Structure formats: structure tokens, C-alpha cells
Chain A
């Protein structure tokens, strides 16, 4: 019962709750949304224990949707998507709680959109039918567009439309690729189906078209990740979005891109993905992303922009891990995805809290506030250290695994990427110093209030995760291992067999 309906419940519940939030009185909106998102988390939490660490999909529900086109409603979770789902349901209640003071206008709309966004995000991670996947991929675009555009900062309109158009552009090309892929597979097998399992079991024989199809998928996902040079929408969207928007954007939406590579681009086009030219290009772009993101972050006066560019760098690690395609590197990539959601999410929360106190995002607006707000300063320090990847925090484990795994296939790339870890320290530590240490030279900062209970409630779960994953990541790693192993093996095997037959 639970394992059959849990995923569908996760999709339907937030959408229903969004309706309730819309219809209820405005002053209840945030409380209703918080309760709804906590229930959502409660629905998803047992997944952790019920999930059996083995390859293949679990919690599958499969029903016909549009039989005329071979479209089915198929959802399921494996060791890769499990953590993305949990990360989403974990971050949403925190984002809602974190918005309590930030969002003061049109609350009903905001919280309803947050819940709709939840449906879209989870839908992307659990869809096992390419039509369903595409629909969810687009559906989450609209709530985010509104969240940035209505509740964002000064240049919110520009940021919102840029975000929308970039993603829309990539995803429409992916749409054509999906249709062409399904058609080509149907020509050979006689079955017209958008089902993931059907398509992955009949790959190959696409000929030179495979390269273009992969290219379309690549573009859609690379824009979302975002990889250098498709990243320019990210700083704008991050800076202008309200705190909750930034947190979910960084914590979950960016992972959709990397998840798309793991789930679709690699298994559907193994031969293209493992083609040396493609590999070198993508590994190269990932390295550029790591270093460039870090270097640009160094010179940002705006704290949110700094975090945004650090995301580019972190996601570069993820891409590197995926493309090195060893068990360790893929596990590391998955772990970095989780860690980035937690650490960067926490950083954005802190940026939002600082902004609420001073109405400025500039680093130089602060200075020496450790004496005024010791608690806030301590948390910010821990979170920054975890983002840098200090041992005993979560950041270290993920990046270490990526580097270790990458070293076996691309030793040079691993060495260059290691420099990225140092760059991370070079942009975050000075920023940290300028915000909370240094002399307290601005009188407005002398009266800043320290963390409130609500803010502590937002941050404590994140801190707990930072320490837990940093010290004892084994439960996570052992749950993702079978799926990651299966992915790596099948991709390598298929790629080898195609290049042998060609």
C-alpha cells in the first residue's frame, strides 16, 4: 500500500494543499503551507527505511494516461532519485518557515506557488515516462517564474524572464529530441512508447542522429545545471529571487540538470556520452566551471551573487564526477548534489537573514558583527566551512569522493579540480572575514538582533545534516551504491558494445 502510492501521494498532496492555501484566509497562508509541507516530509520520510538498497526502481506506480500516444503515468524511485526526493521534501518546509518574515505581500499566492513548485520538483525526480518528465520539467518553471517575478528584488522582471526563456529554450529542443527518439525506437521495435524502461532497453542503432539528440538533451540539462557557458541566468535569478526562491533554486532546481544527465542523457546515449571528444569537452567545461565560478565569486561585492557563482563551481564538481563515470565519482557527484542543497541552501538562508536585518546584500555593509550576533556568526562560519569542504563537514566527503573517482579516469582533471577546492576557500573565507570579523566600524550594525527562535529552527536541521553527513555518510552511500553501480556498468557496457558493432 505505502510503497505503491507514496510517490503519487507526494505529487498530489502539495497540489491539493496549494488549493487550500489559496482559498483560506490570507493570515493562515503561511501556517497552512508549513503544515502541508511538514506532512509532505512526513509522507516521504519512511522512504528512507522502506527503500531496499538494490538496483532498479522501487515504489513504482504505472497506469495508462494517453494510450493513443503510448504515454503512461509511470513513477518510481531508485537510489539516485531517492535522495533528490528527500532533499526536496526536507528543504521545502524550511523554505516556508524561512519566508515567514520575508514575504509580506500576497502571501496566499506565494505559499500556494511554493507548494505547486514542490509537485513539479518531485515530479521531475520520479517520472519514468518521458512525457511525464517533460511536463513536470516545464510545470515547475511557472511557479519559479512567479516567485522571482512577483516577490523578487529590484531587477526581478529581467531576472524572471531570463530564467524562463533560458530554460524554455533548452527544454523545447529536448522536446523535439524526445519525440524523434521515441519515433526512431518505434520504427525498430514496433512499439510506440515513451516509457523510460522501453527506451533504455532499445538504445543504439540511432546512427549519426544520436549525436544531435544527445546535443538537445545536453543543452536542456546544461542550461539547468548550469554549466559554463550557459550559466549567465543563474546569478540574476539567484540575486533577485526571494530567500525561499534562492534556496529551492540552488537546493533543488539546479540538481534537476545533473539528475537529467544521470537519468536520461547517459543511459539513453551511452555511445555518444562516452565518445572521447564529447567527454573531453564536458570534462573541460566542468573544470572551467569550477575555476571560473570560484574566481568570479571572489570579486563579488554582493553576498548572494557570491553564493550564486559558488554554485557554478560546486555544480562543476558534480558534472566532473558524473562524467568521470566511476562508481566513486558518481557517488561523490550524488553526494555533492545533496551537500550543495544543504550548504548552499543554508548560505542563502543566512544571506536572507542578513538582508532582513540590514536591507543590504553587500558584503561591505557588514563587518565585525560577530560581537553583536554571536550565534548568527557561529552558524555562518560552520556553513561556510562546509561549503568550502572542510573535513568533518559534508562538503569534504562529496568532493573527496569525486576527486578520488575522477583520478582513476582523468588524473589531470582531478588535479586541476583540486585547485578548485582551494579557490573555494579563497572566496568564502575573505567574505566571511569581512562580514563577521574585522572591526565593527558601522554604527547601524551595533544594534542587529541575533537569531530568533524561528531562524534557529530553520538552521538547526541544516546544521545537523552538515555534521551528520560529514562524520557518518555511510547510510547514504550504501543506499545509493547499487543504483550508481548499475548506472556506471550499464553505460560503460552499452557504450562498449555499440562502438564494437559500429
Chain B
């Protein structure tokens, strides 16, 4: 299906997922205007949100099924498989977060149905950002997402830590937005356009690659995105914010927000700046710094939540390796890893939310001692999550890491691949103690885990994630093909593709 985006009907079609989600958001706002008092109201809001997410997902699927592509002049929005696949990822993440939140909100007495409205609008912002083919749309989407997530971080008004997290996130996020906007302005100044593909054309045809204004603009863009993905050295906010926010929100921030920012970064670099080699170097160093610092600092953490926060920084480093590869294999690896990482991290945070009671901030790794005998299924799920984060064979995390390594070695980045595996060895030092505590240490006292309750829906979300992790670890073929075709769709540096023969794939839908 070819869509001429200059034609308003085709434009509406291309925006169908976003429109469906907007509509759902409006309906949700109306619903909660009348019903916002009891736990049942909160659940109702949750179900409306889920319906909206499902509708948007269906719309994205419809476009993908008809292989929608844009023709004609480049427009504000991209229509390609990369967008649809990331849309699914974001919608799925939001859906799982909703499921996890049901029990959490009731338990913590957070009877605020606006929680779900904010979640929904944050997701909408992400979808716009990821689908934006224009720096202005990207920025608008980013702001919509950020504002909603600032509020989500501070949604627990009884918690001082939550308020601190929200304020910190807001201040530093606003700062980062400023960098981003300034970068956009400079890029516009250098190329006279904000459209991503046209920037690419201008850079190529006018030979702007060496121009200082463009390079400074690009650097500022990288700083802005670096903040959002929590890449070292722009990661300082992440641990405190992740630590203070309500746990399901933390899970959402560590997965969806990061995924959206990363996917946008990949699109911007791949479409607008393939001709500017400078970013390869910058991203290379960012990747190394993020992997090393994230993993080393995570080693020193005693509480599970902060450990997971630093681990998510470390994983941002691995994802940057895929970005630094700069090939279509890199984009595909990036997508696959993102999906694996998202499933794992969401499940881990959901389990942590179940363990914690009025202050899951304080769950130490050693507090998990004896969980293996007391709650075997929960312990098993958490163990699988840890192994997947570690990148152990049999889990999706391994296939993802393998793919990134494959892309990195194929792009001639052997040192980067070596650093990745060495830092992965370090990560065994903080993922294994979780398993060790659960299975190898005795329960500190009777009933140590009596308070651990996981609700029906959160349990289902965890079960689905863990089953997905194991399944993808053994039979990743379909998802690999999907990631491959979607990654190919993204314009990447033609020169960066090394002389390797293409991997044969059976593409089918």
C-alpha cells in the first residue's frame, strides 16, 4: 500500500495508530472525569487504556500487513516497518505496565485513574517521536512523553522520594530538551530543513559533513538523546529517579522511555546523518563509557532497585554498540535486543513490585534469601530474568547479545565486541548474587516472604514475559526475520556496510 502523504486521506491512514490512541486517551479522560474515586474506577480506567492500546496496536498491524510505504515528497511522519515494530514494542510495554499496575496501585492506595491517562499519553508521545520523520515532530513527541512521565514519576504524593524523583527528572529532562532543541536549531541553520531525509540529502549534495555548525548541532542532539537514554556521562539522574519512582513506573521508564529515545536516535542518525562520520566516534566512546561505568557501579549496589537501575544503564551501553555498528544488521540487532531487554526488565520490575511492601526501595539483594524454597515460581521467574539480562544461552537476552556481537564484528568493531563481553563478565557479579540469594542462602527468619503477593494480572504479565524470554531464546527465527526486514527499512550509511555477504533470511508475513 503506497500512501501519498501530501494527500490528507492518506496522511490520516498513515497516522491511524496515533489517532486511535489519541481517541482512546480522550475517551479515557472523559471516563475518569466522572469515575475517579474507588478501586473499581481505577480498574475501569485501566481496561479502557488496554482497549486503546490494543486498538492502536491493531492499526499498526493493519498498516504493516499492507506493507504501507510513503511515496512522494518526504513528510512529517515516516511510514516504514521500523516504525510499526517499535510501535508494537511501545504499546506492548505499556500494556504489560498496565497489567502490573492494577495490583500495585490498589496495594499502595494510589487510587488515581489519571495514572493510566498519563501512561497512555506518554505512549502516544513515544509513538510520534519514533515515527517522526521531522525533527519538529520528534521534539513534540519527546515533550509529550517527557511531561507525562515527569508526572508519573511523582504520582505517589505520599512519598518524598517520589517527589524528589519527579523534580530531578523534570529539571534534568528540561535541560536535556534544551540541548536537543538547540541542536535542532543549529542543524536547521546548517541545512535549512528539519526533515530527516532532506537533511541527509542536503548534507550529501552540499557537502556539509565537515561544517562546524552541523557538527555542533549533531553533538548537541547526541547530548539530548544521551540524557534520555541515560548514557554515561549523561546518566546521573537515572539511578535516583528510577529509585524514587513507583516500581511499575520505573519499569516503564527503564524500558519504554529508553526504547523510544533509542529508536529515535537510530532513525535520526541513520536517516539524517549517514554522511557525517563524526557520530560513529562519539557513539563509540559513549558505548564504551556506558558499558564500563554502568556495570562497575552496579556491582556496588546493595538494593535490588538501584542495581536494576544501573543495569539498565549498562544495557544502554550494549544498545549503543548496535548503534555504533551503523549497519542494517546493527539496526536489526538493536531492535531484537530492545525487545528482549524490554521483556526482561519489565518482568524483573514487576517481581520487585510484588516483593516490596510500602517501600520497595529498601529491598536488599540479601532480602531475597530463601525465596527459592518459599516461592519457587517467583524465584524461577526472577532467575530467568537475571540470566537473560546476563545474556545466558537459552534466553532471549543471549540471542540479543549474540546479534549485537554479530553486527559489531561484521562492522569491524572487534574491540567494541571484546569490551562488551568483558563488561558482561562483570555483570555476572551483580546478577548472580540475586540468584545466589534466592537459592543458596537460607531464609533469614520464618515468614520472611509472607508479604510477597503478586496479583493475578501482574502474574500473567510476568508469566507471558518469562515464557517469551525462554521461547525467543530457543526459537527466535520469526522475530529475527521481523527485526531484519524492519532494520533494513531504515536508511543507514551505505558506505558503512562492510563487504560481508548478506545473511540469508526467509522473509514472510
Contacts and interface: CB of A to CB of B under 8 A. Distances in A.
A192 B480 CA distance: 16
A145 B432 CA distance: 10
A160 B436 contact: yes
B504 A68 contact: yes
Nearest to B439: A150
Interface in A99-158: 106, 134-135, 138-139, 142, 145-146, 149-150, 156-157
Given A176-B414, A186-B500, A192-B503, A139 B425 contact: no
Contact of A168 (B373, B425, B476): B425
Interface stretch (B159-167, B263-271, B387-395): B387-395
The SS class assigned to the A binding surface is helix
Given A150-B439, A183-B500, A69 B406 contact: yes
Contacts of B484: 68
Contact of B421 (A135, A149, A175, A192): A175
Interface residues of B, number: 37
A192 B392 contact: no
A405 to B, nearest CB: 36
B410 interface: yes
Interface residues on A, range: 35 or more
The SS class assigned to the B binding surface is helix
Given A135-B393, A139-B393, A161-B432, A68 B505 contact: yes
Nearest to A216: B418
Nearest to B429: A165
B436 A157 contact: yes
Interface in A31-67: 66-67
A145 B387 CA distance: 13
A489 B436 CA distance: 47
Contacts of B402: 175, 179
Contact of B409 (A106, A173, A179): A179
A326 to B, nearest CB: 35
B499 interface: yes
A326 B393 CA distance: 36
Interface in B398-433: 398, 402, 405-406, 409-410, 414, 417-418, 421-422, 424-425, 428-429, 432
B2 interface: no
B440 interface: yes
Given A69-B406, A183-B409, A190-B501, A157 B421 contact: no
Nearest to A136: B393
A169 B390 CA distance: 12
A342 B506 CA distance: 48
B409 A176 contact: yes
B438 to A, nearest CB: 10
A142 B387 contact: yes
Interface string B470-483: 00000011001100
B503 A68 contact: yes
A284 interface: no
A490 B425 CA distance: 35
Contact of A142 (B392, B480, B501): B392
Contact of B501 (A156, A176, A192): A192
Contacts of A191: 501
Contacts of A165: 425, 428-429
A157 B480 CA distance: 37
Contacts of B418: 173, 176
Nearest to A179: B409
A187 interface: yes
Nearest to B499: A187
A20 interface: no
Contacts of A164: 428, 432
A73 to B, nearest CB: 11
A176 B503 contact: no
Interface string B489-509: 000000000011101111000
A66 B476 contact: yes
A415 B373 CA distance: 55
A110 to B, nearest CB: 12
A66 B393 contact: no
Contacts of A138: 392-393, 398
A288 to B, nearest CB: 26
B378 to A, nearest CB: 16
A180 interface: yes
A245 to B, nearest CB: 14
A175 B505 CA distance: 22
B368 to A, nearest CB: 14
Most buried by B among A157, A165, A176, A192: A176
Given A134-B393, A135-B394, A173-B418, A68 B406 contact: no
A176 B392 contact: no
B391 to A, nearest CB: 8
B45 to A, nearest CB: 40
A156 B440 contact: yes
Nearest to B433: A161
A183 B505 contact: no
B400 to A, nearest CB: 13
A168 B428 CA distance: 9
A473 interface: no
A475 to B, nearest CB: 36
B387 A172 contact: no
Contact of A183 (B393, B410, B436, B481): B410
A192 B393 CA distance: 21
A135 B387 CA distance: 13
A157 B440 contact: yes
Contacts of A187: 499-501
A214 to B, nearest CB: 15
Nearest to B403: A69
A106 B405 contact: no
A69 B480 contact: yes
A146 B387 CA distance: 13
Contacts of B387: 142
A215 to B, nearest CB: 11
28 contacts: A66-B480, A68-B477, A68-B481, A68-B505, A135-B393, A135-B398, A139-B393, A146-B439, A156-B440, A157-B436, A160-B440, A161-B429, A161-B436, A165-B425, A165-B428, A169-B422, A169-B425, A172-B425, A173-B421, A175-B405, A175-B421, A176-B405, A176-B414, A179-B405, A179-B417, A192-B500, A192-B503, A192-B504
Interface of B: 373, 387, 392-394, 398, 402, 405-406, 409-410, 414, 417-418, 421-422, 424-425, 428-429, 432, 436, 439-441, 476-477, 480-481, 484, 499-501, 503-506
Given A69-B480, A172-B424, A173-B421, 7 more contacts: A69-B503, A161-B429, A179-B405, A179-B409, A180-B409, A183-B406, A183-B500
A-B pairs, top 3 by smallest CB distance, nearest first, are A172-B421, A135-B393, A68-B505
